[in-house]
Amino acid sequence: MDVTRTEVAPGKGRSGSAARLGLLAVPVAFFGVFFAWPVAAIVTRGLKADGAWRFGRIADVVGQSDIRHVLWFTTWQALASTALTLLAALPAAYVFARLDFPGRQVLRAVVTVPFVLPTVVVGTAFLALVGRGGLLDELWGVRLDTTVWAILLAHVFFNYAVVVRTVGGLWAQLDPRQEEAARMLGASPAAAWRKVTLPALAPAVAAAALMVFLFTFTSFGVVQILGGPTFATLEVEIYRETSEIFDLSTAAVLTLVQFAAVGAILAVHAWTVRRRESALRLVDPSVTARRPRGAGQWALLGGVLATIAVLLVLPLAVLVRRSLDGGFGYYRALGDADGGTFLVAPIESVANSLEYAVAATAVAVVIGGLAAAALARRDAGRLVRGFDALLMLPLGVSAVTVGFGFLIALDRPPLDLRQSWILVPLAQALVGVPFVVRTMLPVLRAVDERLREAAAVLGASPWRVWREVDLPMVRRALLIAAGFAFAVSLGEFGATVFIARPDNPTLPVAVARLLSRPGDLNYGQAMALSTILMVVCAVALLVLERLRTDRTGEF
């Protein structure tokens, strides 16, 4: 066996490198053309005039008091949102990891529903709860729609599942016997947890905190709806500078600032993920969950259930209730085109979104699948592993910049796509690819490399090795990845708001347009469309949960 391996190693190394480069070629080209180029185009348009770069504009923009206020609020609310999310979700991470109770898997799916909801729907749900005529307004005359508390609570609602899945997924795989051994040696329960479990969980907690900070630092839809004219994140300010003020130089500077911040966050996140994957000995999570024992565990379970009911379920229930004010009148009104807000009936946005999401899912699965296959190879070099971090950039870099960059960069042959329907799915696929990679990569890395080597020794081509060895093992993960890509594509808003045509709006764009117009009818229709979008996303997620066999991953 050793002689055979020695003889085939040189050829195997060359073919492996060629196969890896071949797998990466398409994802690299895709991100180069549809991400790097549009972002570079908008930055160049804003900072270059008469053939000369105006880098002094960076200091001018950052020095403006209103811009400094935006930077401060963006950072402050992201830190506050992250702290509140950890405070609310860490007890739930323990409950889902260590306690076995009826309805656990269904509740786990319910917890994840807010994360896959479009940010526009999240903002609309909290508007129905704390805004004009909302539940708090009706009961106690309290309106929080233009205060920072509404934004913070909406961010906790949206990111609750990030902490539950990231931390809880690892917590479920930690061997409880290590903590039990510490207690047998005389440590108190608190000391055993602090000295044994907490250090093991620290990388997962850090990774979850960084992702929550990233999502809230780049928040757009939630702040756009709930912040009003008072509060703006960098993403919202980029949108205002681009679409309302038409100041591309300021937008370009803000894009660079956000790009630098996101790059730093993702670099630290990648380090925490590598540390989490390499430093622990994990066990089967099915043996770590037990029925609640004692008053303390039952009280903790009750508190987590109450938190989920109030923080996650109540806003969605109020959203549905507001959409049904006066019966189904708002839903029936969705079939009428008024010629003002829409050129077509708002209900047509449902079919548009589904068609776009299907196309975006197909693109995301192909691009993300190829990237995951290349990254999963154990002989992948540092440059290839660095591409893994780059794949996460679309989750943090301004989607507004990408969308407007599409219109600027893709405006001449052979890629004049401004009038093409494919522009929207391409923008949505950029957001879907990271979820495909994150879902498929752990499964592909778990495939025994010796199976691939045996198939290669027997003469199978790289394509046949993938088809005969990898695909049967990752088929279920592939379906789950496609489902997540579909859900996030349905909710993409930042880029789509620029490139969706007036006669083909998507659901999030239609909701935002309705909310921008005064009147109870427009407000009610926005609630109705948001409810439809919420139901579609929730159904997709419940189907995914039934497909999942490994309940420990992040997403």
3-state SS of 147-179 is: CHHHHHHHHHHHHHHHHHHHHHHHHCCECHHHH
Per-residue confidence (pLDDT) for residue 175, from 0 to 100 = 74
CB atoms within 10 A of CB 1: 5
At 409, is the secondary structure helix, strand, or coil? helix
Q: For residues 512-516, give the mean pLDDT.
A: 82
pLDDT at 8 over 60: no
Specify whether the CB–CB gap between 277 and 417 falls below 8 A.
Answer: no
Sequence-distant (6+) residues with CB within 8 A of 244 are none
Q: Which domains does the chain have, with CATH numbers?
A: 55-323 (1.10.3720.10)
Averaged confidence pLDDT in the chain? 79
Per-residue confidence (pLDDT) for residue 552, from 0 to 100 = 45
Per-residue confidence (pLDDT) for residue 198, from 0 to 100 = 80
Q: For residues 434-451, give the mean pLDDT.
A: 78
Task: Indicate the DSSP class of residue 195.
Answer: I
Is the CA virtual torsion 402, 405, 407, 412 positive or negative?
A: negative
Per-residue confidence (pLDDT) for residue 283, from 0 to 100 = 61
Specify whether the CB–CB gap between 491 and 535 falls below 8 A.
Answer: no
Q: For residues 80-90, give the mean pLDDT.
A: 95
Per-residue confidence (pLDDT) for residue 81, from 0 to 100 = 95
Rounded CA gap, 485 and 425, in Å? 11
Rounded CA gap, 356 and 362, in Å? 10
Per-residue confidence (pLDDT) for residue 302, from 0 to 100 = 93
Helix then strand count (H, E) for the chain reads 27, 2
* Higher per-residue pLDDT: 549 or 138: 138
94: closest CA among 312, 310, 292? 292
CB atoms within 10 A of CB 235: 27
Q: For residues 388-408, give the mean pLDDT.
A: 78
